[in-house]
Amino acid sequence: MLRTFIAVRIPSTSRLRQILTQLNQMGSSLKPVSADHLHLTLKFLGDTPEPQIAEIGEIVSQAAADAAAFELRLVGLGAFPNVHRPDVIWAGIETSDTLITLASILESKLETLGFRRESREFHPHLTLARVKAKPPPSLFQLLDEHGTTDVGTVHISSVELFQSELQRGGPKYTVLASANFA
């Protein structure tokens, strides 16, 4: 079994790099995402039998064929479950019909392979860090300062099926299939 997910890579903007640097300086209570690993998950598959990888790759290709490359605007910082008790720090995504349609197509097509449909509505966000312990006051200042900040616009031209291997130094991602948008 492989631990897999489908995502679009998010190139790091200068504002995003500045924010990640600030998060990295907040100590061991936070585990920021590496700028090289930024991605927006469309569908987390979890444990996936290796024989299904080719079929999933084909579904990813079919979904990409129906979409055109697009621009994605990152706006504001926030936290789950909320900014007063953060577990995950994220950058917001300005509404993208292409992204929502793509996630919906993947949900439908992957359900035929036995992957459960998500019970929650798809809300795109870019995870920047996970909170491991009581965060420093500087995190709350950062969230307050950048609640509506324009974090940048990125060009999205492909979607990928990733394998995620959890390791001590952080996850290792391997691309198993990739498809460019039309």
DSSP conformation letters of 82-133: ETTEEEEEEEEE---HHHHHHHHHHHHHHHTTTPPPPSSPP--EEEEEEE-S
Within 10 Å of residue 177's Cβ, how many Cβ atoms? 18
Within 10 Å of residue 58's Cβ, how many Cβ atoms? 13
Q: Of 37, 123, 125, 155, which is the active-site residue?
A: 125
Q: Which two tokens mark 105? A: 């197509």
On whether the CB atoms of residues 62 and 101 are closer than 8 A, the answer is no
Q: Of 37, 39, 123, 155, which is the active-site residue?
A: 39
Active site annotation includes 123:
no
Active site annotation includes 39:
yes
Distance of CA 68 to the CA centre of its chain: 19
Backbone angles phi, psi at 158, to 5 degrees: -155, 165
Catalytic residues: 39, 125
